[in-house]
Amino acid sequence: DTEVTQTPKHLVMGMTNKKSLKCEQHMGHRAMYWYKQKAKKPPELMFVYSYEKLSINESVPSRFSPECPNSSLLNLHLHALQPEDSALYLCASSQSYGTGDTEAFFGQGTRLTVV
């Protein structure tokens, strides 16, 4: 199983809503990531979890709150978003570093629209 599964595939939310994006992998990977991708732009890193601990936060606004309940799951909690937060949110995972096997596998993404 080399799959990273993201749900939902599409999400429309109002600026006062609270919602969560979910990501799951069963490859035994110990690093998981959230990326944000706007149209015709490359993915931009938001967060990195390594061994279930937040190791990188790329100065993301607090209206985005990541959570890693266990080594297979990664959530992104959304609250009070702005229309400019509308984007494709990609989750990825990779084997722990130092093993020479660090290619990141991406999920299909959640297309988020904030209205």
Partner 1 sequence: EDKVVQSPLSLVVHEGDTVTLNCSYEVTNFRSLLWYKQEKKAPTFLFMLTSSGIEKKSGRLSSILDKKELFSILNITATQTGDSAVYLCAPESGSGNTGKLIFGQGTTLQVKP
Looking at beta carbons only, is 50 or 65 nearer to partner 1? 50
Q: Show contacts with partner 1 in window 89-108 (CB under 8 A).
A: 90, 96-98, 100, 102-108
Nearest to 74 by CA among 83, 82, 66: 66
* Token couple for 66: 């990541």
Task: Establish if 66 lies at the interface with partner 1 (CB under 8 A).
Answer: no
Please say whether the beta carbons of 3 and 106 come within 8 A.
no
Least distance (Å) between residue 9 CB and partner 1: 9
Nearest to 68 by CA among 105, 21, 107, 106: 21
Question: Burial of 105 by CB count in 10 Å (0-12 exposed, 13-18 middle, 19+ buried)?
Answer: middle
Looking at beta carbons only, is 13 or 106 nearer to partner 1? 106
Helix (H, G, I), strand (E, B) or coil at 22: strand
Task: Establish if 43 lies at the interface with partner 1 (CB under 8 A).
Answer: yes
Task: Establish if 13 lies at the interface with partner 1 (CB under 8 A).
Answer: no
Where does this chain bind partner 1 (CB under 8 A)? 4, 30-31, 33, 41-45, 48, 50-51, 55-56, 88, 90, 96-98, 100, 102-109
